[in-house]
């Protein structure tokens, strides 16, 4: 039971960063804009948040700076893909390279920095007493974990139960029809790409200031941005499924670490402990699953069957027929 509790508890912490990034990408794709720059935005959010928290001694200001950094970087993608109607895949990949490069330059020397403030951790008194689930969900959790709990139902309610959410789905499914009804497709697409970038920046800052506090390097995100993109497809563009996927992938990362520790599993020799070469195959499991999901999502017919917005990845030109 302790083994399972540890895995799920770590999954909630790791999954929170994935949740923020996945929800951000989900909003952008719901608006019809594919953003493959999540990894770059997360890295920039991580380095800027870490640096700001160290400079000011205020962790919340660091979180805010990380959010802003991710949002600013996302506006470049919005301008290139919405205003200039450039290829969204190429623009997103360029954004990733730009974010990685900026994080390497701006983050030089931060690995040796000590004494950076971190996000406070606390328990919810009554909920933490719930057997089994209390310890996993509500005991000694970062404030950002509780923020994630709040964002899940909020995102679902916004998308499916509000008029702005209806407009969001409209500009991603049939922007020409939305435009004919007076909905400003261009402005809303800019806005939701910005929201996606800000959430990616929040995800990066949560990694450097909460999940792996007091430490920063160019490997802080560990491919979380790419996993988040795959999770959007896995979740079929639904916030509730995205939350489940984020926490499952977060748990999988801890499961991989724990599997390398015990010499035996249920009285049987642990092959990952006996042969260290097998650990490479174990560690690549989350990324292999992500690649499989991305390959499936790259096929238009399969993507449409999974529930992808009809206009995803297609620049909108006012007056053209079709989406």
> How many domains does the structure of the chain reveal?
1
What is the pLDDT averaged over residues 72-79? 96
pLDDT for the residue 273: 60
What is the pLDDT averaged over residues 206-214? 82
List the CATH number of the domain containing 137: 1.10.3470
Per the domain annotation, does 300 fall within a domain? yes
Q: Two tokens at 74? A: 């996302």
Per the domain annotation, does 315 fall within a domain? no
Per the domain annotation, does 299 fall within a domain? yes
pLDDT for the residue 27: 97
Per the domain annotation, does 322 fall within a domain? no
Per the domain annotation, does 319 fall within a domain? no
Q: Two tokens at 265? A: 């599993």
Neighbour count for residue 150 (Cβ, 10 Å): 9
Per the domain annotation, does 310 fall within a domain? no
Range of the domain at 16: 2-305
Q: Two tokens at 115? A: 């004494």
Phi, psi dihedrals of residue 141, rounded to the nearest 5° = -110, 150
pLDDT for the residue 251: 87
Range among 22-26, 122-126, 248-252, 278-282 rated most confident = 22-26
Per-residue pLDDT for 310 more than 60?
yes
Q: What are the E-state strand segments in 136-248?
A: 141-142
* Model pLDDT for residues 94-131, shown as the tens digit of each residue: 999 999 899 888 887 777 777 788 899 999 988 888 88
Rounded distance between C-alpha atoms, residue 69 and residue 99, angstroms: 10
Per the domain annotation, does 66 fall within a domain? yes
* Model pLDDT for residues 7-16, shown as the tens digit of each residue: 888 889 889 9
Per the domain annotation, does 21 fall within a domain? yes
């Amino acid at each position: 039971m302790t083994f399972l509790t540890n895995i799920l508890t770590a999954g909630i912490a790791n999954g929170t960063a994935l949740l923020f990034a996945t929800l951000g990408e989900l909003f952008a794709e719901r608006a019809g804009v594919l953003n493959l720059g999540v990894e770059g935005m997360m890295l920039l959010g991580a380095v800027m948040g870490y640096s700001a928290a160290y400079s000011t001694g205020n962790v919340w200001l660091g979180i805010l700076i990380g959010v802003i950094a991710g949002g600013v970087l996302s506006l470049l993608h919005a301008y290139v893909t919405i205003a200039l109607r450039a290829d969204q895949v190429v623009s997103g990949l360029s954004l990733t390279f730009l974010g990685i490069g900026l994080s390497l330059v701006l983050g030089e020397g931060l690995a040796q920095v000590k004494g950076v403030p971190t996000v406070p951790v606390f328990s919810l008194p009554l909920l933490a007493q719930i057997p089994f689930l209390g310890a996993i969900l509500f005991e000694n959790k970062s404030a950002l974990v509780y923020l994630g709990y709040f964002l899940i139902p909020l995102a679902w309610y916004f998308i499916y139960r509000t008029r702005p959410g209806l407009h969001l789905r409209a500009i991603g499914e049939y922007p020409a029809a939305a435009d004919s009804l007076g909905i400003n497709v261009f402005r809303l697409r800019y806005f939701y790409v910005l929201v996606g970038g800000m959430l990616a920046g929040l995800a990066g800052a949560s990694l450097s200031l909460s999940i792996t506090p007091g430490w920063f390097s160019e490997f802080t995100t560990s491919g979380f941005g790419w996993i988040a993109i795959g999770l959007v497809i896995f979740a079929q563009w639904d916030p509730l499924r995205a939350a489940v996927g984020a926490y499952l992938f977060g748990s999988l990362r801890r499961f991989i670490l724990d599997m390398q520790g015990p010499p035996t599993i249920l009285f049987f020799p642990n092959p990952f402990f006996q042969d260290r070469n097998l650990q490479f195959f174990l560690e690549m499991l989350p990324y292999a699953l992500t690649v499989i999901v991305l390959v499936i999502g790259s096929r238009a017919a399969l993507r449409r069957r999974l529930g992808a917005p009809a206009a995803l990845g297609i620049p909108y030109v006012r007056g053209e027929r079709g989406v």
